[in-house]
Every structure is written in structure tokens, then in C-alpha cells.
Amino acid sequence: MRKGNGTLLPLIWVAAIIAVVASTATLVLSDRGEDRHWVSESEYQRIQRYARLDAVRETLMTDYYQPLDEDELITGAIRGMTSAVGDVYTFYYTPDEMKRETDENDGHYDGIGVVLERSREGYIELVRVYPDTPAEAAGLRVGDRIVSVDGAPVDAATYASYLEGVQRMRGPDGAEVVLGVLRDGQTLEFPLTRAAINVSYAEYTILDGNIGYVSISQFTGDAADRFGEAIDAFRAAGVKGMVIDLRNDPGGLLTHVVSIADKVLPEGLIVYIEDRNGNRTNYFSDAEYLDVPLAVLVNGMSASASEILASAVQALDRGTVVGLQTYGKGVVQNLTTFPEDGSGMQYTTASYFDANGRSINGVGVTPDIEVPLEADRVPFDPDPASDNQLAEAIEALGK
């Protein structure tokens, strides 16, 4: 490495002369044997800026007291760069992690059958347990906090540690895993056998009183298609009102929530996003929608895309939001794949605002009717007799 620096130093003076002649000129970066590399001045300066990083890598690979995996060092350096942004929604995926993320977004993956969230207290928290899955069979509940996987401690103090804990929980169909769970101040152990998970992210039914009910667990996978099926079924049945349950929904894809919102909102602005340069992108609903009284259920784990829908309902005065203050995630991310090896990264690109120009980032959506849940957890089966928030939403439809 020191020899390499010796080759590069004289070119600083050359670069200064060339820059005076023409800013688009190129220069020789290095000349080792028969290999020559021509780069622009700006590229040369970038190489110099990252020379320290490569010096650390080479020193560790050469002088560390034990052999090291260079790929792991590079991955660690990339994770360090995304972590330095200071944004919990910006991070890197290895090829395996990227594949699992894509599979889970499609609703088909190997695992235990839960939706996880990074809680404000730094825990990996269960926000949904899907029926007929290993998690339900083992007795896991919404609100459980995962503190260990196969005896190794896990947490969500940082997003990197959260991702690491989530990855430890995943595994092939048939593989066993033991989760340590913090519940009501006690730490319990739950042995599970992973299975192939196929879930639907939207479920619907028609309740007594001819009320259409649809629960959206995530705005990914089949959520938009299933919501379209629900609207068709509700229209055919002539429902008198509709409840959209977004409790414990951590969000998902902007395209999905816009598609879903378009089916229940009148013509108008659903949401707009702005990047750091003030460039604005608007998302509209058209005039075609299911025009029946509408209520939306939310809680503290309703985030991101859930908040887009809830705030749009309020901004367009379309219905009533019932429940508890939402999470408060008002920023949008891009998910990109690096084609060389299938790795990828998620990074924040914009903020979003409702039709009134309101940002909910760090604040959340305040319900029109604020009511705490009396049950221990959000029920999977909609029943207003045992779910006071749902009962309140149905009552709001009549008003």
C-alpha cells in the first residue's frame, strides 16, 4: 500500500497543471508494468479520499493475528457507511438478505410467520402473528419482545442489530429455532420449527349489520389485489359502511397504498412527496370509488403507508379515523438492487405530505376518535363484542 502511494503522489502536481488547461482532461492514475488506468481529476480525488479505507483493509488482511474474510470486511465497511447517515431506514442488504426481503414482500418465505417492528425502546417486537403458522402454534403473541435467538442475545438498539436479529430468526423449512421472549416482565423460551409461509396481506369479511371489514397487515405482496377483491365483494353485497383496519400495520410500498386509497377516496390529492431539492411528485385518486361511510382503525404500530392512508382520509374529509396516535414515519425510501451479486440497499429519498401539506414525521396521525384497546392484543378475528375499538369504528359509521 505504501508503495502504491509512492506512485500516486507525483501525479498531484500533474493534475494541477492539467486542470488549468482543461477541466475535462484525464491523467494517468498509475503505471505498474503494462497496466495503465486513465481517470478524470475528480475520480482521482475520490480515489485519494478513500485511500485510507483501503489502507485499513490491507493492513487487517495482512497483519491481523488471524485470517480474515475480505468480503465480510467490505460488508462491514458498507454497513458502517449507511449507519453513519444516522437514519434508521437506510441500510444495506447482502445478497441472501436481499432475496429474503424480496420473498417476504411477495408473501412467500421460510420462517415462523410473524411481522416484526423495531420498537421505540430498542426491542424487536411482534406486531402481528399470522394464523396457522409456527408462531401461532407455539403461543407467540402480539407485543412479545424477542430478546434472544438460540440463546444468543438480540436487540434493536440500532437498525443493524435489528436486522441481524431478524436474520437469525429466519431459516429453511424444517429447521428448529428457540426464541427468548420478554412478556409481562418475564423472559420465556419458545421452541419453534420453521415452515414455508404463504400469507395474504389483506383479509376481508362482511360483519353483522352489513359492514364491510378489511384488515391490511402490510402494503406489500397481494395486499392491493386482495383489497380490490374486497371492494368488489362489498359493492356486490351493498354494504352500508366499511372499516379498514390498519392496526399494527408497519407500512410497505407507496404504489400499493396509492392503489388502495384510490378505491375508497374521491377524486383528489392522496399524498405528495418532496426530495431534498424540493422536487415534488403528486399522487391522485380518480372519481371512481366505493362511496359508503368509512372508518379507519389505527394504533401506535400503524406506520408509514398506513399513515398515508389514514391522513388522506382525514385531509379529504372522507371518513373517521379511530384508535390511538400512529407511529409517525413520514419519509419515503427506495430499495435498489446491485446486479453484480444481488445485494441491495434501502435509503431515504423524500418526505411525504398529505393534501393539506401536513407532515406526520415524528408526530403521527391523531385519531378523530381516540380510544384505547381494552383487550390484551388486537384480535385476529373481527368481533365488535370483544374489540371495543372496532365497535367504536362501527358506531362512527352511523354518525
Region for residue 398 given its phi and psi (left: phi exceeds 0; alpha: psi -120 to 50; beta: otherwise): alpha
Segment 61-81, tens digit of pLDDT: 999 999 999 999 999 999 999
> Does 278 score more than 60 pLDDT?
yes
Given 2.30.42.10, 3.40.50.1260, 1.20.120.80, 3.40.50.2300, which CATH number is that of 108-197? Answer: 2.30.42.10
> Does 237 score more than 80 pLDDT?
yes
Burial of residue 390 (CB within 10 Å: 0-12, 13-18, 19+) is buried
pLDDT at 101: 80
Cα–Cα–Cα angle for 248, 249, 255, nearest 5°? 170
Burial of residue 99 (CB within 10 Å: 0-12, 13-18, 19+) is middle
pLDDT at 312: 97
DSSP-based three-state secondary structure for 226 = helix
pLDDT at 24: 35
Bigger pLDDT: 215 vs 7: 215
Bigger pLDDT: 9 vs 197: 197
Query: φ, ψ for residue 331 (rounded to 5)?
Result: -125, 155
pLDDT at 37: 67
Bigger pLDDT: 11 vs 96: 96
Domain extent listing, the chain: 2-68, 108-197, 200-397
> Does 12 score more than 80 pLDDT?
no
pLDDT at 143: 87
- pTM confidence score: 0.79
Q: How far is the first Cα of the chain from the last one, in angstroms, to the nearest whole number?
A: 74
> Does 7 score more than 50 pLDDT?
no
Q: What is the mean pLDDT of residues 204-226?
A: 94
Q: What is the mean pLDDT of residues 242-249?
A: 96
Which residue type sits at 8? L
pLDDT at 35: 61
Question: How far, in Å, CA of 242 to CA of 227, rounded?
Answer: 12
Average pLDDT score, the chain: 87
Domains 108-197 and 200-397 share a fold: no
Residue with cell 497483519: 63
Bigger pLDDT: 399 vs 336: 336
pLDDT at 14: 30
- What CATH class is the domain 200-397? alpha beta
User: How does 110-142 read in b/e, with b if 16+ C-beta sit within 10 Å?
Assistant: bbbbbbbbbbeeebbbbbbbbeebbbbbbebeb
